Structure 1
Amino acid sequence: MKVALGQFAVAADWETNQKQCLELIERSKIEGVDLLLLPEGILARDINDPEIMPKTAQPLDGPFMDGLKQASHGIAVAGCVNVPDGEGRFFNTHFVLKDGTFIALYRKLHLYDAFSMKESRLTSPGVELPPVVDIGGMRVGLMTCYDIRFPELARHLALQGAEVLLLPAAWVRGPAKERHWEVMTVARALENTCYVIAVGECGPRNIGASMVVDPLGVITLALGEEPVLGFATLLHERLDHARRVLPVLENRRFAAPMLADA
């Protein structure tokens, strides 16, 4: 399975961001990619205007996603957009497109009410566990940004058959934050013997630092803080080897995690 990591700085208007996404899709197609993962919040972002997220939210049949649907023929495209909840807030929605159709959707469960930020002020939480879908011959599970701090979600996906975890993010800079990002991304891969594809938005607020981690916790691709399109190949042989020599999913003594009542 060949993957592309489309790291970029999200602009304040959706037309600019759509153009950037379409360029990344076309470049990924030329490289024969099965899946392109984009960052979190790719509709619009402005660090000087925190209200921009609900103001610019669009439905999944709006013009931003329509453009990506048309471009997604022959490739899977994943990322996060803000979708109105009908009550003045929005759902942070992780989508996977393939051949013009949504094959998976997930509303972010864990909202970033930490480090002096309050995502829940404008965002409505999801109430359902994310799906696992087939892409490029592998089973792929969905997570979003802050979810990486909650190992129960990654374990749930692994027990549902996930071999790859997708993690679009907009990881905010701060003391030791890059270290947190790396440690937890590696831990979720290693403790579940899954690949993790993590793509972070870059720019003045967020760190970028997109990466691919293999099922034994080896970082096989690490990007910096500038806009870039990176590529990696995920191997069934490596996955099978990891699960043979480190059978943590078989050896565990705990029951499967469950979602608490909302």
Structure 2
Amino acid sequence: MKIALWQMQASGDPAANLSAMLAGMAEAAAAGARLAVFPEYSMVWQAGGSDRIIAAAEPLDGPYTAALRAEAARLGLPVIINLFERNEATGRPYNTLVAIDEAGEIAGLYRKVHLYNAFGYREDDSFTAGPDTAGTVVELAGLRIGLQICYDLRFPEGARSVVDAGAELIVYPAAWVPGPMKEAHWAALLQARAIENTAYVAGAGMLYPAGSGGTRLVDPMGATQGDLGEQAGMLLAELDPERVRSVRAKNPSLDNRRFAVVPRG
């Protein structure tokens, strides 16, 4: 099956970003994709923009998600989007992935657990962390997909938790902040998560200055199936669920392991 991974540079204008995403979904459907994935921060981005993030936040039934759900239903195309989900309890939204099926229904969601408090940045100034629970897995287009976000990539336990729940593909929508060696970390960690979990891994990234680009799909043996580098646009990549089963039969490392993933609580 074909999946479409979008690489873009979102602006501080949510309406313009939404328009670009709707156009991207139509392009993906026309190209024969059965799933589209957009980057983290594609709702809105602006340097130092915590106030803008909080102002843009919406509930799950808000107009941003509603427009994307309607387009998914119109096109018959499942899509995974990033939502700044309003959180009345703290005033700081959740950084949320919403998985929308081909009928436009919400198939599942994941609130980012590991906030990016590293490399001189504090994401918890803008967001509230999601609960420390087992990873979220949804089924879209007949594929079991584990939901993770950006900085979660540095924590192998998150990937393992969704694989334990049946994931064949792990997605990492990201705004991977640029910096010394950061592009190398992104590439190496995507490959590592694929190899150690014998699963497909997809990273959908934002472009500079919000992110480092590098949108790619890595197969269960660690082979890269496409890489956009610094180019804006859509990566249309082939994914075969049988490849997961084949690799796991040759390399049964998931069966051979001796430790389980347990939340710190």
Q: TM-score, normalised by structure 2?
A: 0.95
**Structure 2: which 5+ runs fail to align?**
none
Q: Could you give the per-residue CA deviations for residues 160-211 of structure 1, whole angstroms, max 9, x where no partner exists?
A: 1111001100000000000000011100000000000110111323111100
Whether 2:132 is the aligned partner of 1:113: answer no
Instruction: Describe the SS at the equivalent of 2:68.
Output: helix
Match of 2:14 in 1: 14
Q: One-letter code of the match for 1:257?
A: V
User: How far apart in 2 are the matches of 1:204 and 1:159?
Assistant: 35
* Structure-1 residue corresponding to 2:91: 88
Q: CA deviation at 1:234?
A: 0.7
CA contact (8 A) 2:204 2:216 kept: yes
Q: Structure 1-normalised TM-score?
A: 0.96
Give the C-alpha shift of residue 137 in structure 1. Answer: 2.2
Tell me which stretches of 4 or more aligned residues in structure 1 moved more than 3 Å. Answer: none
**Aligned 8 A contact 2:107 2:139 in 1:** no
1:195 aligns with 2:197: no
Q: Distance in 2 between matches of 1:202 and 1:194?
A: 25
Whether the aligned pair in 2 keeps the contact of 1:43 and 1:57 (CA below 8 Å) is no
Distance 1:176 1:239 in 2: 30
Report the identity percentage. Answer: 37
User: Equivalent residue of 1:9, what SS?
Assistant: coil
Q: Distance in 2 between matches of 1:124 and 1:49?
A: 15
1:258 matched to 2:262: yes
SS in 1 for 2:203: strand
In the alignment, structure 1 segments of 5+ residues that lack a partner are none
Q: Look up the SS of the partner of 1:129 in the other structure.
A: coil
Describe the superposition over 1:7-47 as per-residue Cα deviations: whole angstroms up to 9, x where unpaired.
11111111101100000110111122111000002211111
Please show how residues 116-135 of structure 1 align to structure 2 within 5 Å: 116-127=120-131, 128-135=133-140
Corresponding residue number in structure 1 for 2:42: 42
Aligned length: 260
Aligned-pair CA distance for 1:241: 2.0
RMSD: 1.2
Amino acid at match of 1:108: K
Residue type at the aligned position of 1:190? I
Are the counterparts in 1 of residues 99 and 138 from structure 2 also a CA contact under 8 Å?
Answer: no
Contact persistence 1:203–1:226 (CA under 8 A): no
* Paired residues of 2:54 and 2:126 also in contact (CA < 8 A): yes
- Per the TM alignment, residue 141 of structure 1 is displaced from its structure 2 partner at its CA by 0.7
